[in-house]
Amino acid sequence: MCQYKCGNIRCKAIPLAAHRMSVEQALLGRRSVRAFLTRPVSRSAVERILELASQSASNSNGQPWQVHVLTGAAKDRLTAALLKAHEGGGRVQKCEFDYQPRPDEWVEPFLSRRSEFGQGLYGKTLGIEFTDLVGRDSHHRRNYEFFGAPVGIILTVSRHQLDSALIDAGLFLQAVMLTARAAGLDTCPQASFLDYYPVLRRHLNIPDDHRIVCGISLGYADKTHPLYSFTTPRQCVKDFATFYEDRAEDAIGMDGSTPGIGSLPQRPTQENSGGSEIDIDHVPWAGWMQDFPEQPGSRRH
Ligand SMILES: Cc1cc2nc3c(=O)[nH]c(=O)nc-3n(C[C@H](O)[C@H](O)[C@H](O)COP(=O)(O)O)c2cc1C
């Protein structure tokens, strides 16, 4: 048993500051933060986040992830090299692997969601017109500064594990983001680093048999920055889930409703916060396990 009595027999690291947040609160409170305070994050906190994230599932327990953690002058040197490449036209024409569709390859409904995201971030939140390339670039380049966060992480996975490694990396990434949130910290996952992957490979000595997955900014959110108010919507469960039930009345979506979850807390947005300040450190906790008693006649597998 860990000396800190966290209950995890595999845990050897120190605990994070006790924020006492449920998984539900961490999920509802997590979002991509793009403006950070300079307030430092201790190395022990980063180690604890990584230790907890390493408890993620992976295919046959392969644990194919590696992380490169940058702070201080090391982070600044990487940022300088990335910005030099960015300004000198060093953006790669083709990523190392097919990470995402080219702009002309996006299809519906993803195309509309992407465009809504871009308009929300650049247009509504930052007031930058779509045609204002200089304005757009002034925000985009902040990616390479890890949005001012004191900790920058580059996540890589073994190439030998094929696409299964990318699934494992996604689980690890999510665990990093949720654990950070539960500790009162915030994150932004960033694929933008892939546009300059040769710079990363050179600076961090990333071997050829590892694929670069993304960067992660980690730190304390700057809650006074306009970007802190930017939130993204989600599809309803009935729009992406199909339930196969024994009894017709158990089915979700027949009348468009999701039985039982109407009263649960939603992700805080400007709309549902009635225009008041959003504070993701204070997401209410429904204690949903108690709200879902076993239904008579329902089968759990
Ligand atoms: C793999 C991945 C790569 C991403 N790359 C970037 C990026 O380069 N820059 C950025 O500002 N946000 C990036 N994001 C954040 C997404 O835009 C964000 O997750 C999405 O809009 C949903 O918003 P939310 O994270 O606030 O819930 C990335 C997210 C993921 C999962």
Over range 166-175, report the average pLDDT. 98
Q: Is residue 300 part of a domain?
A: no
Is the distance from CB of 169 to CB of 157 less than 8 angstroms?
A: yes
The size of the chain, in residues, is 301
Q: Does residue 189's CB lie within 6 angstroms of at least one atom of ligand 1?
A: yes
Summarize pLDDT for 77-96 with one digit per residue, the tens: 999 999 999 999 999 988 88
Summarize pLDDT for 155-165 with one digit per residue, the tens: 999 999 899 99
In the numeric block, the tokens 């108690």 are attached to 290
Summarize pLDDT for 108-132 with one digit per residue, the tens: 999 999 999 999 999 999 999 999 9
Summarize pLDDT for 16-49 with one digit per residue, the tens: 665 678 999 999 999 999 999 999 999 999 999 9
- Distances 152 to 122, 163, 188 between C-alpha atoms, Å: 23, 25, 10
- Domain of residue 222, CATH code: 3.40.109.10
Q: How far is the CA of 191 from the centre of ligand 1 (A)?
A: 8
Q: Is residue 262 part of a domain?
A: no
**Separation of alpha carbons 139 and 253, rounded Å:** 40
- Side-chain-side CA neighbours of residue 133 (13 Å): 0
Q: How far is the CA of 251 from the centre of ligand 1 (A)?
A: 33
Residue whose CB lies within 8 A of the most ligand 1 atoms, among 157, 188, 197, for a mutation test = 188
Cut 0.75: pTM above it: yes
More confident site: 270 or 71: 71
Q: Is residue 223 part of a domain?
A: yes
The domain total for the chain is: 1
Q: Does residue 188's CB lie within 6 angstroms of at least one atom of ligand 1?
A: yes
Q: Does residue 143's CB lie within 6 angstroms of at least one atom of ligand 1?
A: yes
Residue whose CB lies within 8 A of the most ligand 1 atoms, among 28, 32, 186, 228, for a mutation test = 32
Q: Is residue 147 part of a domain?
A: yes
pLDDT of res. 3: 43
Q: Is residue 32 part of a domain?
A: yes
Q: Are strands 186-190 and 151-158 parallel, antiparallel or unpaired?
A: unpaired
| Residue nearest (by alpha carbon) to ligand 1 atom 5 | 190
Q: Quote the domain boundaries for residue 153.
A: 23-229
Please say if the pLDDT value at position 99 is more than 70. Answer: yes
Q: Is residue 3 part of a domain?
A: no
pLDDT of res. 169: 98
Q: Is residue 85 part of a domain?
A: yes
Q: Is residue 254 part of a domain?
A: no
pLDDT of res. 59: 97
